[in-house]
Amino acid sequence: MTSASEPAQQPGAPHSTAEKLADLTDRYDKAVHAGSAAAVQKQHARGKKTARERLELLLDPGSFTEFDAFSRHRSSNFGLDANRPYGDGVVTGFGTVDGREVCVFSQDVTVFGGSLGEVYGEKIVKVLDFAAKTGRPIVGINEGGGARIQEGVVSLGLYAEIFRRNVQLSGVVPQISLIMGAAAGGHVYSPALTDFVVMVEGTSQMFITGPDVVRSVTGENVTLEELGGARTHNTRSGNAHYLAADEDDAISYVRELLSYLPPNNLTPAPIDPDLAPAHAESAGAGSAEITDADRSLDTLIPDSPNQPYDITVAIRAVLDEGEFLQVQELFAPNIVVGFGRVDGRGVGVVANQPQHLAGVLDIDASEKAARFVRTCDAFNIPVLTFVDVPGFLPGTDQEWNGIIRRGAKLIYAYAEATVPLITIITRKAYGGAYDVMGSKHLGADINLAWPTAQIAVMGADGAVNILYRKQIAAAADEHGADSEQVAALRKQLQTDYEDALTNPYIAADRGYVDAVIAPHATRAEVAKALRVLADKRESLPPKKHGNIPL
């Protein structure tokens, strides 16, 4: 059913109270069913929900309050005045998620293909302004084909108005974008400016120019999914933060994500009362109880420094109930980021992943971690860092594509953070990567090391080749480069180097590590550190803004 295009008053307008109430009901029914039945059926046939169905799934039942349900476009260009549906193709308002208020908008692809016009844009601007005024998170559900051509430059102007507010709200209230269908042209930049982007496998796409334009300009043949599909943006571009199996999964992820985020930057991160100790004097008591998961950490690190292991085992052992909500899990898997809780307190986790590229830092990993640390810092979420990093990835590809500049973003993120910073070195912490990964020198508050930690300028293999190259060369000349004597000499020199320089006690002696702890004590130590740092106060020098190496 399409909405009526009649003016506000016309012959036969209602006069009695009953007639006016009936008229209101009729108008609201038309607003709810603004898209045609055929368009809705087509949407469902694609396995997608309508704009209002998505809001019903996101928000607590009965909590939604709508803004501007009766707004209609004002354009008469190209016959638009003959079709003026209520709502103009976007549903806006506020409601609750698990009892916490959020502001929302949901774009309706069944009305004008979800294209953005003047009123459509004004409605989004209004709800963004309301989120700023009330200090509430904003969740945007996106699906649309770009600017409404019939409305001309006014559509472009409203895009920019939205972008400006996304920037103004950045770091003030959490902004989350759900991409539930195709988002093209100007529709993609607002999500790109938000904190988190969720896409659905098989039905979500984001692109500036579509495959046809790409083919005509560059001659490149590429499918819609290859160019801007959900998996592409989750694995290659890094534009998305979660790959959902379907729309229900996408919305479920957003609901869980919101549980870790405060409503705004002036509010502490939420504490789960079901997981927090009942009394202050018992805080940390539960964490002090050694569990089987804690004990498993004592055997997590292999004897061979080159053997991989799964760092998420350590992460889940430290977090309440082993629950860890990963962010950008499929992008730069050599570093892991996500949210969890310790004694009910929300934390952001950053960890090198030895199972992928030995946990090395490269361009993508550096930018992924830097953005996450800055997001946590913006919203008062402590950062817990697990370190097992052999260094930065070498190679011309990395150097030519800016590893110096882009790797420096991670330095910047840790150095400017004022939230509690807790770092655990589990194994390798080599070279400049040691500094970058939440070191004491960058401002971390509590730095812990396991006895398996190796903190040095470089690993034993590389160090021995430099420090003892003449001695090794002489032995090779005498016995042959592949001789048992040279192998034995090299092994002994590596052992001497490890004993002298790579153990954690040298760093502990200098105060670079606050304590060397048994792995099974990690959860208890982290809980105590979070408790003592809960009232941390640190400020940066006054400035307009820093100049992060973008």
pLDDT (tens digit per residue) in 299-314: 999 999 899 999 999 9
Distance, in Å, from the CA atom of 446 to the CA atom of 464, rounded to the nearest integer, reads 32
Q: Torsion-angle region of residue 528: left (phi > 0), alpha (psi -120 to 50) or beta?
A: alpha
At residue 512, the pLDDT reads 97
Average the pLDDT over 16-25 and give the result.
83
At residue 37 the predicted structure's pLDDT band, cuts being 50, 70 and 90, is confident
Report CA Rg, the chain. 28
Q: Which residue ranges make up each domain of the chain? A: 47-258, 280-453+503-532, 459-502
pLDDT by residue (tens digit) across 384-407?
Answer: 999 999 999 999 999 999 999 999
Own/partner contacts of 219-228, CB < 8 Å, gap of 24 or more, are 224/182
Closest CA to 506 of 434, 442, 412: 434
pLDDT tier at 83 (50, 70, 90 boundaries)?
low
Choose between 206 and 491: higher pLDDT.
Answer: 206
φ/ψ of 93, rounded to 5, equals 160, -155
| First CA to last CA distance, the chain | 49
What integer pLDDT is reported at residue 508 of this predicted model? 95
CATH topology of domain 47-258: 2-enoyl-CoA Hydratase; Chain A, domain 1 (3.90.226)
Reported as a single tens digit per residue, the pLDDT across 120-177 is 999 999 999 999 999 999 999 999 877 786 777 988 999 999 999 999 999 999 999 9
Catalytic machinery residues: 185-186, 432-433
Kindly tell me the burial class for residue 281, based on how many C-beta atoms sit within 10 Å of its own C-beta (0-12, 13-18, 19 or more). exposed
CB 120 within 8 A of CB 84: no
Average pLDDT rounded to a whole number, residues 47-65: 95
Q: Phi/psi of residue 231, each to 5°?
A: -70, -35
Burial of 62 (0-12, 13-18, 19+ CB in 10 A): exposed
Helix residue ranges, H only, 36-149: 37-45, 51-58, 118-134
Q: Any idea which residue has 């070279």 for tokens?
A: 431
* 47-258 against 280-453+503-532: fold identical: yes
Contacts of 153 (CB under 8 A, 6+ apart): none
pLDDT of residue 3: 44
Contacts of 204 (CB under 8 A, 6+ apart): 179, 180, 181, 182, 183, 229, 230
Residue 432 pLDDT > 70: yes
| CA triple 484-305-502, angle to 5 deg | 95
pTM over 0.85: yes
pLDDT at residue 4, as a whole number: 42
Helices 153-169/118-134 angle, 10° precision? 10
**In this predicted model, what pLDDT tens digit does every residue of 193-243 receive, in sequence order?**
999 999 999 999 999 988 999 999 999 999 999 999 999 999 999 999 999
Alpha-carbon distance of 57 to 178, in angstroms, equals 13
25 vs 509, higher pLDDT: 509
Question: What CATH number does the domain located at 280-453+503-532 have?
Answer: 3.90.226.10
